[in-house]
Structure 1
Amino acid sequence: MDDATHPVQIALRTYALSLSLSLGPSLVPIATSLFISTAKTPFIPLKRVLKRELALDSFAFAITLSVAGGAAIRRLWSALDQEFHDTGHPSPPLQRFRSARRRLQAFLTCLNVSSSQKTFLSNVFSSAVGIMLLKAGRQRAMKLRNRHSLSAQASSKDCSSPTLDLTILLLVRAMDSLLQALIRAATKPSPKHDGKSRRKSTSIVTNKYINDKVKQTWDRQIKTRASQIDALIFWGCSARIMWCFFYDPGRLPRSYVKWIATLANLDDRVIQVLNLIKEGQWSYTKGSPLHSEVLSNFAEELGHNALWGDPSALPAYGGATANAAWKVLGVNNRPGVGGLPCELVHGTVGSTFGLQGSCTVNSSLRAVKAFFEAVAIYLPAHFLPMLLTRPGAILQPHHTLSTLFGALRSATFLTTFVTSYWYTVCLTRTLVFARIFPFISHDFWDGPFGCILAGCMVCGSSIWIENGRRRGEMALYVLPRAIRACLPGTWAQNGNRGAQIAERLLFILSFSTLITAAMHHPETLRGLSRWTLAFITSGPSAGAWKWRRQNPKVPLSSTILPTSSIPNNSDTLKGIP
């Protein structure tokens, strides 16, 4: 059992890792309750959690069956192939089933599939059983939670598939693996380099130097193309997520909504009016008899005229008509444009200096606030891995400065994300576009296809400030949630039969693709998925883990594994000198 790829060892590693991921977060509130309250015994919830996570339909057992089951089928398939090509007699335990075994061996041989295809098909069968177990376990857990919940009626409203988020996560990682393979194939060096180098010189040292140069050039091309695609993906995903924050926050996790709301620092009543404008219930041209008091009360709280928040009193168009209306209302910073005064959009930002009506001051102050908040987020995120993996590096000035620069760079990215959104909104509805086109109603400029859409489309471009290695993980982080936010509500429901079939197929194909990539093309995996699957399929002696031990200075979020660390027998390197 010294073979790290033996199905039993794979099962042990997979179960240990899966159990820690599922059981660990469930035990945190139980452990916390021991220190917060002593009146309530934690044994009943502990028993419930252990019963759920140690059952045969639990997450840990289902994932272990999917991974180790595929490895067992793959090993059995290889054994049958070897025996079929062996001229000797079959093994004694299988003598009784010789005829059936021979027919099975002949059928498998006739398939004429490659080693990676055998791995993929083996995991298709095992993951099909795994997803059925997983869905049964999740549904059982939801029923138990609803039974013990005090608000069963509220919990019953959430009828989405309990495994949908996991399926989308696997789909994103599998598609990324396929995309990385396509990028590597598209940037593959031509074999002509090898012939030219050998004709010029027969020196082994010279050829090795040329080969290293070719690999370095190839690695740079892969990183550049991958970084460009990652930036495009992040841009699209961030636009969709920001759009949902304003108009459909129910599609986003509560943690997303709370975090974005904290950074945006926008009054809820303004967001409410944006949704009313989208629904046609709050209009500068038609007024809003049912909701006219929403922003009027807000204007009074800020110390302004209540009519500043009444849509029937505000000018719908720019030009001379708007100037006359502003003179009556006492607004002196919106000449030539209509719509809601900037003071209500900016809120209390800049009120200390009496500059709450300035768009530039508003964006600048929000940038300063966002930067310090981002520094508080990214400093621990950058320094904690270094303190845990190599604490001695904190005493080396160049490592400390490099890590500090990375944290400040990430903070600048987040600051630019927030600032670019706000200033784009101001450019659209106040400073530029509304002035150029004064004949367009502010029902459009303040509507879903005006300033909000412009801000959503611009803010994601700040990803180019971030380090190239981190763009990939950030894109893979937001992409599952963006896909989830794009799904129709009826399609994602757990009772939709077509959605269930589609989800199971996506889970099976994505899971099988990831395991196949981990075993045959590990260079196409990135970030945590690469290290996790390398540990599961090959153990601590996997090439990726050896490379990590030999290169402790490279962060775990490294986007591309250097080509020099890829095994020479990889199919991807065929034709490389």
Structure 2
Amino acid sequence: MPSTLSPAPKGPPPPSLVARWTRLLSSRIPENNSHPVQVAIRTYSLALCLSLVPSLIPFATSRASEKTSKHALKRLLAREFGLGGFAFSITLALGGGSLIRELWRALDDLDDSDAPETAARAAAAKLRACLSALNLSSAQKTFFSSVVSSSAGLLLLQAGRRRSQNTKSPSRDPSASRTLDLTLLCLVRAIDAAVQSFVARKSGSRRESDAEHPTHRAQTNKLASSLRREVMRTQIDSVVFWACSARIMWCFFYEPHRLPKSYVKWINTLAGLDPRLLDTLRAIRARKWSYRTGSPTHSHLLTTYARDLGHPASWGDPSVLPAYGGPQADQVWKELEVTTRPGVGGLPCQMVHGQVGSTLGLEHSCTANAGLRGSKVLLEAIAIYLPVQFLPVILSRPRTLLDPRRILASALGALRSATFLTAFVTSYWYSVCLSRSLILARLFPFISHDFWDGPYGCVLAGCLVCGSSIWIENGRRRGEMALYVLPRAVRTCLPDAWVRSGNAGVRLAERIAFVVSLSSLLTAASHYPHVLRGLSRWGLRFIIKGPNVVFWANNSPSSPKPSNVPSKTGE
């Protein structure tokens, strides 16, 4: 009988190509979160997502055209993945500073007592002596390391933007800086960090850890200082948002070219104004349309608008409408068959309100106009803010939705934000009506409606009032909203002629502002994280101290578990 041989035991299957690459990368990438390699990987990944994903959206959502062709996609990918792209330039600016700081730290720790003397060691010792003579603190070393890297990163980014601009649109004004918005964003965040540090000092707050067994009095003092700090912070944020929103709204009416197209489109959606009414407001500012002198070249703007609304064309004719209030205005209104503006002149309310309330026969009512517009905005805002409140909870902590209190808190938060946006729109419209129709124009009928409907009349009143609705919003959200609108408000205050001149002084000023601001932010993220907040706190802390990039090492049995080595406060 033939002997049966037992099969040889099978060994473990050979690792796949992906597993081999994973193991190789996990063994090559340092496990220290603060290592320059990890910082560079996180920076490049985050920067690439911020620049590439929005640029790819038109290719996925738009129909085929010249802007979404394969050639345009190839050009986009070459720009974003190139050395002059946003991702690589920002990685050089942020990761380069971490590398320089690591080399500086190694130079400080260099011990050449028992090492043989070489030319390299002699040069290193001489460099260390020169740097030690400066007697710089750890934070100052981080700042100057970031200055070197951010300067190189900005120059590389600007060179890449110039090449892209010349290739894409040679006719476009080459003097306009394409990195100014990024510079203003860094500048605003750096100023905010300085303000937060000032607030912390003035409120008596300190983020250093207390004693091991703090007394009841120390805890009470800490709570009181924290409350004072929060009150000061929310007051500053509210004032900043109010001022910025007033400036942005005023520019929307009179200088929309100073705002991004997305801003103009969003505000126009909320305002619901006919373009001819906006053109008339700008013509009044330019003194090309007047209640007193008429408008030979622009009178058709509101006459056609009046006919489209179903009113007589004379309701939009500046040569017919009364320029002042009083008995003379009432006589004109009697001839025009307008019964809703006794004692005041200017454009009839029905023209300003448009078709709002026309189905209810309330197009003449200022209160109905503000209320109906606010109701529409409220419904739209709730539809926007409800997902914003619940989606992060669903993705990160879905079990908390089983708690009715958590659901109620999220719903109230969405309602509060929606109420803020509603109050913003409603207060603007009612302020316009109060100044040009209901109160101010009645109190001062001798003032021409060229003023009341001009840039310093009802429009300015609405711009100054609407931003005060920020006091409805949650205190923490006020700060992020203020930091969101502040860079754009600063940009609208810069003279266009100066910004577009493209001379050496403008370029130097922008580069200094960018380098100092970004270096200050990186230093704060490494040494004083309590002065950062919102997106800047999360983003920079993620880059500098964030989660370990070698996450695959946790799943590899042959790889040691990565250890998070947080940087010391003084490092």
- Change in Cα spacing, 1:496 to 1:247, as seen in structure 2 (3 Å) is same
Query: In the aligned structure 1, how far is the partner of 2:73 from the partner of 2:279?
Result: 42
Partner residue of 2:445?
438
Query: In the aligned structure 2, how far is the partner of 1:129 from the partner of 1:108?
Result: 21
Deviation at 1:40, TM superposition (A): 11
Query: In the aligned structure 2, how far is the partner of 1:360 from the partner of 1:90?
Result: 87
Deviation at 1:30, TM superposition (A): 3.4
Partner residue of 2:113?
89
1:341 pairs, out of 339, 344, 348, with 348
- Determine if the alignment matches structure 1 residue 491 to structure 2 residue 498: yes
Gaps (5+ residues) in structure 1? 147-151, 199-203, 543-566, 572-577
* Contact kept in structure 1, 2:247 and 2:489, CA below 8 Å: yes
Query: In the aligned structure 2, how far is the partner of 1:139 from the partner of 1:568?
Result: 38
Deviation at 1:90, TM superposition (A): 7.0
- Determine if the alignment matches structure 1 residue 9 to structure 2 residue 38: yes
CA displacement, residues 66-110 of structure 1 (integer Å, 9 cap, x when unaligned)? 112111221222233333xx5x52755x72134433332222111
Q: Which amino acid aligns with 1:65?
A: L
* Contact kept in structure 2, 1:227 and 1:472, CA below 8 Å: yes
- Change in Cα spacing, 1:347 to 1:190, as seen in structure 2 (3 Å) is closer
Larger Rg: 2
Q: Which amino acid aligns with 1:66?
A: A
Q: Which amino acid aligns with 1:350?
A: G
Q: Which amino acid aligns with 2:305?
A: F
- Determine if the alignment matches structure 1 residue 160 to structure 2 residue 184: no
- Determine if the alignment matches structure 1 residue 504 to structure 2 residue 500: no
Query: In the aligned structure 2, how far is the partner of 1:42 from the partner of 1:449?
Result: 47
- Determine if the alignment matches structure 1 residue 233 to structure 2 residue 233: no
- Determine if the alignment matches structure 1 residue 362 to structure 2 residue 369: yes
Q: Which amino acid aligns with 2:40?
A: A
CA displacement, residues 350-399 of structure 1 (integer Å, 9 cap, x when unaligned)? 11121211111111111111111111221122122112222222232111
Partner residue of 2:191?
175
Q: Which amino acid aligns with 2:133?
A: C
Query: In the aligned structure 1, how far is the partner of 2:168 from the partner of 2:278?
Result: 33
Query: In the aligned structure 2, how far is the partner of 1:116 from the partner of 1:226?
Result: 25
Query: In the aligned structure 2, how far is the partner of 1:422 from the partner of 1:210?
Result: 51
- Determine if the alignment matches structure 1 residue 56 to structure 2 residue 80: no
Partner residue of 2:136?
113
Partner residue of 1:559?
none
Q: Which amino acid aligns with 1:89?
A: S
Partner residue of 1:556?
none
- SS of 1:348's equivalent in the other structure is coil
Summarize the alignment of residues 408-447 of structure 1 with structure 2, pairs less than 5 Å apart.
Answer: 408-447=415-454
Which moves more between the two structures, 489-498 or 105-114?
489-498
* Contact kept in structure 1, 2:42 and 2:543, CA below 8 Å: yes
CA displacement, residues 13-57 of structure 1 (integer Å, 9 cap, x when unaligned)? 111211222222233333446xx6699996544432332122222
Partner residue of 2:25?
none
Partner residue of 1:533?
540
- Determine if the alignment matches structure 1 residue 68 to structure 2 residue 91: no
TM-score (norm 1): 0.86
Query: In the aligned structure 1, how far is the partner of 2:65 from the partner of 2:290?
Result: 55
Partner residue of 2:402?
395
* Contact kept in structure 2, 1:371 and 1:414, CA below 8 Å: yes
- Determine if the alignment matches structure 1 residue 143 to structure 2 residue 172: no
Percent identical:
55
Query: In the aligned structure 1, how far is the partner of 2:298 from the partner of 2:263?
Result: 28
Gaps (5+ residues) in structure 2? 1-29, 550-565
- Determine if the alignment matches structure 1 residue 23 to structure 2 residue 39: no
Cα RMSD (Å): 2.5
Query: In the aligned structure 1, how far is the partner of 2:164 from the partner of 2:206?
Result: 55
- Change in Cα spacing, 1:216 to 1:138, as seen in structure 2 (3 Å) is same
Deviation at 1:208, TM superposition (A): 4.2
Query: In the aligned structure 2, how far is the partner of 1:446 from the partner of 1:532?
Result: 45
- SS of 1:331's equivalent in the other structure is coil
CA displacement, residues 227-280 of structure 1 (integer Å, 9 cap, x when unaligned)? 110000100110011001100111111111111111111111111111111000
- Change in Cα spacing, 1:340 to 1:40, as seen in structure 2 (3 Å) is closer
* Contact kept in structure 2, 1:161 and 1:494, CA below 8 Å: no
- Change in Cα spacing, 1:275 to 1:43, as seen in structure 2 (3 Å) is closer
- Determine if the alignment matches structure 1 residue 310 to structure 2 residue 317: yes
- SS of 1:490's equivalent in the other structure is helix
Q: Which amino acid aligns with 2:136?
A: V
Q: Which amino acid aligns with 1:316?
A: A
Query: In the aligned structure 1, how far is the partner of 2:328 from the partner of 2:167?
Result: 63
Query: In the aligned structure 2, how far is the partner of 1:40 from the partner of 1:570?
Result: 49
- Change in Cα spacing, 1:271 to 1:32, as seen in structure 2 (3 Å) is closer
CA displacement, residues 161-182 of structure 1 (integer Å, 9 cap, x when unaligned)? 1111111111111111111111
Partner residue of 2:305?
298
Partner residue of 1:554?
none
- SS of 2:243's equivalent in the other structure is helix
- SS of 2:499's equivalent in the other structure is coil
Deviation at 1:310, TM superposition (A): 0.8
Q: Which amino acid aligns with 2:107?
A: L
Query: In the aligned structure 2, how far is the partner of 1:137 from the partner of 1:40?
Result: 20
* Contact kept in structure 1, 2:237 and 2:482, CA below 8 Å: yes
Deviation at 1:476, TM superposition (A): 0.6
CA displacement, residues 187-224 of structure 1 (integer Å, 9 cap, x when unaligned)? 12599xx9xxx9xxxxx86x344333332222222211
Higher RCO by CA contacts (8 Å cutoff, separation 6 or greater)? 2
Partner residue of 1:519?
526
Query: In the aligned structure 1, how far is the partner of 2:65 from the partner of 2:91?
Result: 37
Query: In the aligned structure 2, how far is the partner of 1:126 from the partner of 1:539?
Result: 20
- Change in Cα spacing, 1:271 to 1:91, as seen in structure 2 (3 Å) is farther
* Contact kept in structure 2, 1:162 and 1:494, CA below 8 Å: no
Query: In the aligned structure 2, how far is the partner of 1:109 from the partner of 1:180?
Result: 31
- Determine if the alignment matches structure 1 residue 248 to structure 2 residue 255: yes
Query: In the aligned structure 2, how far is the partner of 1:41 from the partner of 1:377?
Result: 29
